[in-house]
Amino acid sequence: MTPQVAYKHKVSHEWERAATLREVRTGRVDTDAVRDADFLLRAAATHHGVDSLRPCPLCGSTLRNTRWVYGEVLGRRAGSARSEKEIAEFVAEGLEFTVHTVEVCIACRWNHLLTSEVAYGKC
């Protein structure tokens, strides 16, 4: 039987996100400093991301949530953006690895880590 993708050790980074946005709104941090999504991040968001239900907090455009996978067990695949289908395939190999969900605004380059969690297969 193919195992289902399950997650554990989920850590939310909402608090840091809200704190960063507060700093921007009060002018203590320049907006340019947080609009730093590089080419790779934006390309990954375009090709592997899914639309977020939330608009960009800085410009109101549609955000793309992208899933990045990390872990030595992934070999060369570590540190790359992946679709849910690919994550399911890795889990089906019996692997357990970290998944970061990053929101990216392709329009203004705002980006922030939303959650980190460990993916594993549950039969």
Find tokens 């193919």 and name the residue.
Answer: 2
| Residue closer to Zn ion, measured from CB, 5 or 56 | 56
Q: How many CA atoms lie within 13 A of 112 on its CB side?
A: 20
Q: What is the nearest approach in angstroms of Zn ion to the Cβ of residue 120?
A: 33
| Residue closer to Zn ion, measured from CB, 43 or 107 | 107
Give SS3 for 59: coil
Q: Cα torsion for 53, 56, 59, 60, to the nearest 10°?
A: 10
Q: What is the nearest approach in angstroms of Zn ion to the Cβ of residue 56?
A: 3
| Residue closer to Zn ion, measured from CB, 68 or 110 | 110
Identify any residues that bridge with 26 across adjacent strands, giving them in sequence order. Answer: none
Using CB under 5 A, list all residues that contact Zn ion: 56, 58-59, 61, 105, 107-108, 110
Report the candidate in 4, 86, 93, 99 with the shortest Cα–Cα distance to residue 47.
Answer: 86
Q: What is the nearest approach in angstroms of Zn ion to the Cβ of residue 61?
A: 5
Task: Extract the tokens encoding 42.
Answer: 């934006």
| Residue closer to Zn ion, measured from CB, 34 or 99 | 34
Q: What is the nearest approach in angstroms of Zn ion to the Cβ of residue 106?
A: 8
